[in-house]
Amino acid sequence: MTQLPGSYESYWMESAAGADHPALTADLDVDVAVVGGGIAGICTAWEVARTGRSVALLEADRIAAGVTGYTTAKLSSQHGLIYAQLQKSFGAEGARMYARSQQEAVEYVAEVSAQLGIDCELERVPAYAYAESSEQVDQIRAEAEAARDAGLPASFVTETGLPYPVAGAVRFEDQAQFHPRKYLLALASDLLGRGGQIFERTRVVSLDEGEPCRLTTEGGSTVTARDVVVATHYPVFDRAMLFARLEPSRELVIAASVPAEHDPHGMYITQEQNTRSVRTAPYGEGRRLLIITGEKFKPGVGDVSRRYEQLAAWTRDRFPGATITHRWAAQDNTTTDRVPYVGRFHPGAKHVYVATGYGAWGMSNGVMSGRLLAAHISGEELPWSGLYDPRRLHPLREAPSLLKLQASVVKHFVGDRLPASHADSVEDIAPGTGAVVRVEGRRCAVYRDEDGAVHAVSARCTHLGCIVHFNDAERAWECPCHGSRFATDGTVVQGPANRPLEPRPLPTDAGDGDRSG
């Protein structure tokens, strides 16, 4: 395998250590329980605590360390080319509500940072969605017009701070970039100061939607709460059937040190070349950290190392002299109509809420979700409550995306069970790699570590049973159907699965495993 550039760690995780929080070991009774300690969960718990309600934040791993710890951290109402589409799908008023809710989230982070004295490296910069191809200019112009109609400070431009020419761009003023962990860890500290409780290493495995609601953790503890918020990125409970309307995707991130004078002074994104996103962050005296995101793909798609190499090559080509320091990957889910689901979990839900489907724009959406869900719990309505309601369903509007998504799931669910497997035998698996192998009639996900030791687990995702695939760059098992991810020992890295892949003992002659039946 080619040696990939940079250390495999998120700069946000490396540069902001968080305090440890205990695991829940006893039963608990609170007004509100928030499941998931990313930006949506932390913001929701903090907003709820401000209302005087007792609140517990439950995180399966560490807070602000999952998807939120591996973001690009653009805080913007500029979400690619979305406003022209929103006008067509939701009308002019829907587009205005989306714009207003997102821009208010940007301003809200600035206000809260000032009020609490949070040094989160907040910088106000413009955001651009651009195209290098002249064929895309009309689409860029239409987006600029739609964004202006939605009330945003948008304009069409042909000049940017990028070191290469563009054919056209829509520029948004008054946007921001920040250090997400520094902001959220400060919110968590303030949450504790307001009487809130935080529990890490506390995986929730079941939910009883009674009155009150009851959550059960992997360790056997019960949390009783009047209201429950499920903010686990991809909902870990499927009763709302949202998994049929959410499409997971991953993007790779390359971070590189550049001289401060090479800062392009803004946040940039293009849909061309399988997505390219650019921003910078402070990085020592006279330097900036250039953060490049792209190479979008579905979890479970192989050859991730090659995708990293392509992104690194693009970075060096467009920003000569950049020294690659870090690399990581981000995952998000997109709804079939591109608007997140934030509100009551399903049509019959009275006290259970959800936040998901941010489509790679989790910073503003996470902040927006915290405010919206806290309002719901307090019995209030915000102007955009209806826009984000998870119970909405627009068959004609969503049909093409819904059918495409389900066709992809069926393809993996059926196709991955056909005779062709991923390796002929365990013996074919090289050190540092993994493959799905049929052993004694069962499909096993087998990983061989650098020392040659073999680790085997069930190849069936514990969510809905799709066959996992190996990610060669991140050394993880991924479900191509709904995006669950597992470590090589089978432990859950990312939901919706909340149970590990079962260990599989291998016979001493496992090297003779075949692809039959």
Distance CA 284, CA 513 (A): 53
Tell me the C-alpha distance between 111 and 202, whole Å.
Answer: 32
Which has the closest alpha carbon to 215: 242, 200, 194, 237? Answer: 237
Give residues with Cβ within 8 angstroms of 468, minimum separation 6: 300, 436, 445, 459, 460, 461, 477, 478, 479, 480, 484, 486, 501
pLDDT at 466: 86
- pLDDT classification of 513: cutoffs 50, 70, 90: very low
Would you state the structure tokens that stand for residue 86, as one six-digit string? 């929103």
DSSP-assigned letter for residue 70: G
Q: What percent of the chain is modeled with pLDDT above 90?
A: 67
424 confidence band (pLDDT: 50, 70, 90): low
Closest Cα partner for 224 from 241, 238, 208, 239?
208
Helix then strand then coil, in percent of the chain rounded to 5, is 30, 30, 40
Residue 410 has pLDDT above 60, yes or no: no
- Residue 73, pLDDT > 60, answer yes
Average pLDDT taken over every residue of the chain: 89
Least confident stretch, 25-34, 201-210, 372-381, 452-461:
452-461
Work out whether the CA dihedral 89, 90, 95, 97 comes out positive or negative: negative
What is the per-residue pLDDT for 375?
97
What is the band of 405 on the pLDDT scale with cuts at 50, 70, 90?
very low
Task: Please write the tens of the pLDDT for every residue from 290-299.
Answer: 999 999 888 8
| Top-confidence residue, 425 or 504 | 504
**Which residues of 264-351 form beta strands (DSSP E)?**
267-270, 276-282, 287-297, 323-335, 341-344
- Among 124-128, 349-353, 359-363, 411-415, name the one with the lowest average pLDDT: 411-415
> 318 with 251: CB under 8 angstroms?
no
Strands (E) located in 20-89: 28-35, 55-58, 74-75
What Cα–Cα distance (Å) separates residue 194 from each residue in 21, 50, 152, 442, 465? Answer: 16, 7, 35, 52, 42
- Which pLDDT band holds residue 1 (cuts at 50, 70, 90)? very low
Whether the CB-CB separation of 40 and 369 falls below 8 Å is answered with yes
Q: Compute CA distances 234 → 67, 115, 471, 490, 494, whole Å.
A: 10, 32, 20, 19, 8
The pLDDT, as a whole number, for residue 422 is 60
What pLDDT does 121 receive?
97
Is residue 408 over pLDDT 90? Answer: no
Report which of 499, 419, 420 is spatially closest to residue 464, judged by C-alpha positions: 499
Query: How confident is residue 88, by pLDDT bands cut at 50, 70 and 90?
Result: very high
- Of 243, 299, 215, nearest to 29 by C-alpha is 215
Percent of the residues in the chain that have a pLDDT greater than 70, as a whole number:
90
Distances (CA, A) of 27 to 34, 216, 224, 232, 375: 15, 9, 8, 21, 27
User: How sure is the predictor about 512, in pLDDT bands with cuts at 50, 70 and 90?
Assistant: very low
Relative orientation angle of helices 39-50 and 362-377, to the nearest 10 degrees = 30
Give the Cα separation of 16 and 179 in Å (integer).
9
Mean pLDDT, range 192-209, rounded to an integer: 97
Q: Give the mean model confidence (pLDDT) for residues 468-473.
A: 85
Looking at the domain that runs over 426-512, which CATH code has it been given? Answer: 2.102.10.10
Q: 148, 157 in Cβ contact below 8 A? A: no
Q: Would you state the pLDDT for residue 280? A: 98
SS3 for 85?
helix
Work out the average pLDDT over 283-292: 95
202 or 509, which is more confident?
Answer: 202
C-alpha span between 162 and 415 (Å, rounded) = 43
Question: Looking at residue 439, what is its pLDDT?
Answer: 78
Sequence letter at residue 438: R
Most confident by average pLDDT, 89-93, 430-434, 507-511: 89-93
Q: What is the mean pLDDT of residues 28-45?
A: 98
Residue 124's identity, in one-letter code, is R
Category of 515 on φ-ψ map: left (φ > 0), alpha (ψ -120 to 50) or beta: alpha
Token pair of 382, please?
A: 């915000």
402 has pLDDT over 70: no
**Cα end-to-end span (Å), the chain:** 31
Predicted confidence at residue 423, as pLDDT, reads 59
| Position 412 pLDDT exceeds 50 | no
Query: In the CATH scheme, what is the homologous superfamily, with its name and number, of domain 7-71+181-244+338-400?
Result: FAD/NAD(P)-binding domain (3.50.50.60)
DSSP per-residue string spanning 268-289: EEESGGG-EEEEEEE-STTEEE
| H-assigned helices in 378-436 | 385-388, 395-415
Cα 404 to Cα 133: distance, rounded to the nearest angstrom: 27
Contacts with 152 (C-beta within 8 Å, 6 or more apart), sequence order: 77, 78, 83, 99, 103, 172
Please give the average per-residue pLDDT across 408-433, as a whole number: 59
Where along the chain do its domains lie? 7-71+181-244+338-400, 426-512
pTM: 0.85
Whether residue 434 is predicted with pLDDT greater than 80 in this model: the reply is: yes
Closest by CA position to 456, among listed 510, 399, 494: 510
Burial pattern 147-184, b for ≥16 Cβ within 10 A else e, equals: bbbbebebebbeebebeeebebbbbbebbbbbbbbbbb
Q: Does the pLDDT at position 58 exceed 90?
A: yes
Query: Looking at the predicted structure, is the pLDDT value of residue 406 above 60?
Result: no
As a residue count, the chain comes to 517
What pLDDT digit, counting tens, does each position of 350-395 carry?
999 999 999 999 999 999 999 999 999 999 999 999 999 999 875 5
Q: For residue 516, what pLDDT is reported? A: 30
Does the bond joining 212 to the residue before it have cis omega, within 30 degrees of 0? yes
